[in-house]
Amino acid sequence: MNLDATILQTESSATILQKESSATICSTSHVLRDSSLQTFRAGEQPYSSVTHTMAKSGRSLDEPEGIPRQDSVSSQQDLVQWDNASVETGTVMSWLGYGSEIIQARKDAYREYGRLWTALACGAGTCIITGSKAEGLTRYLKSDRDIMFVHSTVICIEDGVNADNFSREITVFRSYSRMSYPGHCRLLLERRGKTIHPNIKDALCDDWYGQELLSSDLYGHDCSKVPSAEGAMQHDRAGPSTPLTVSGILRGDVVHAFCYYSPSILSK
């Protein structure tokens, strides 16, 4: 909750800056507009007119878009104006909460958020914040949080990988994609760990060939029955994710995942 308050405080600071600088933003836009009008009143022509005039006179252009050569005084002044407009745009974006500094601050905050939740799991798994929140592109309440919980007691391997390379404490599944849709695979039980999670144990089914495979539907259903934190309300499953709402305003999607060890993909 302290980290949530820190993130919210960061967003609130950006909002305060936005309100305090609204007059400055408006004045900046008026200045840019007035300067452009003064430029045309001084006798300078738009790029389209300059292109037409230079084409008639037979002079060549440095750029295909019709921008005149950089050695002319007018073109240098135009470039300075566009550079100033770019700087002003970057300043306005920072005031609105989408500058590079606030984006990096959001990234650091949600990375710390995941680290703290991983510590609370006490070795059961790793909590990773993904999506637009992890990239720092959305504000605190603008969209939901995409949370991936990677279980540490299970690992999936591809063909050709020896299961004995992993600890006996870990349950090992082998991926089998020959009878699946592109981008999907079946997880066949290769070896049971010394301790296996009840949700995984209950999701094992017979594949009619004497092997056990993991049912994603049963596993997702069992994971959705895990008690949520205080004040959180779970919703119906949406694919592999379990949507939830905390305190009526914070929305999130939780996905339970396994590590997949694939040397062939890593070598590409």
- pLDDT at residue 221 tops 50: yes
- Kindly state whether residue 242 falls inside one of the protein's structural domains: yes
Whether residues 199 and 253 share a domain: the answer is yes
Whether residues 97 and 168 share a domain: the answer is no
**Listed residues 49, 72, 101: the one ending a domain:** 101
- Kindly state whether residue 35 falls inside one of the protein's structural domains: yes
pTM: 0.64
If one counts the domains in the chain, the total is: 2
- Kindly state whether residue 106 falls inside one of the protein's structural domains: no
Whether residues 172 and 84 share a domain: the answer is no
- Kindly state whether residue 138 falls inside one of the protein's structural domains: no
- Kindly state whether residue 112 falls inside one of the protein's structural domains: no
Q: What is the pLDDT of residue 73?
A: 59
**Listed residues 67, 85, 101: the one ending a domain:** 101
- pLDDT at residue 68 tops 70: no
- Kindly state whether residue 113 falls inside one of the protein's structural domains: no
- Ranking 22-36, 61-75, 125-139 by mean pLDDT, the lowest is 22-36
Q: Average pLDDT for residues 158-180, to the nearest whole number?
A: 89
Question: Which tops the pLDDT comparison, 247 or 104?
Answer: 104
- pLDDT at residue 208 tops 90: no
User: What percent of the chain shows pLDDT beyond 70?
Assistant: 71
**Listed residues 101, 131, 154: the one ending a domain:** 101
Whether residues 83 and 186 share a domain: the answer is no
Q: Average pLDDT for residues 15-21, to the nearest whole number?
A: 43
Domain residues for the domain of 226 are 144-266
- Ranking 55-59, 103-107, 127-131, 173-177 by mean pLDDT, the lowest is 55-59
Q: What is the pLDDT of residues 72-129, one digit of tens each?
A: 556 777 777 787 788 888 888 888 888 888 999 999 999 999 999 999 999 899 999 9
Question: Rounded distance, CA 266 to CA 144, Å?
Answer: 31
The model's confidence at residue 9, banded by pLDDT at 50, 70 and 90, is: low
- Kindly state whether residue 223 falls inside one of the protein's structural domains: yes
The model's confidence at residue 50, banded by pLDDT at 50, 70 and 90, is: very low
- pLDDT at residue 136 tops 70: yes
Q: What is the pLDDT of residue 11?
A: 53
Question: What is the average pLDDT value for the chain, to the nearest integer?
Answer: 76
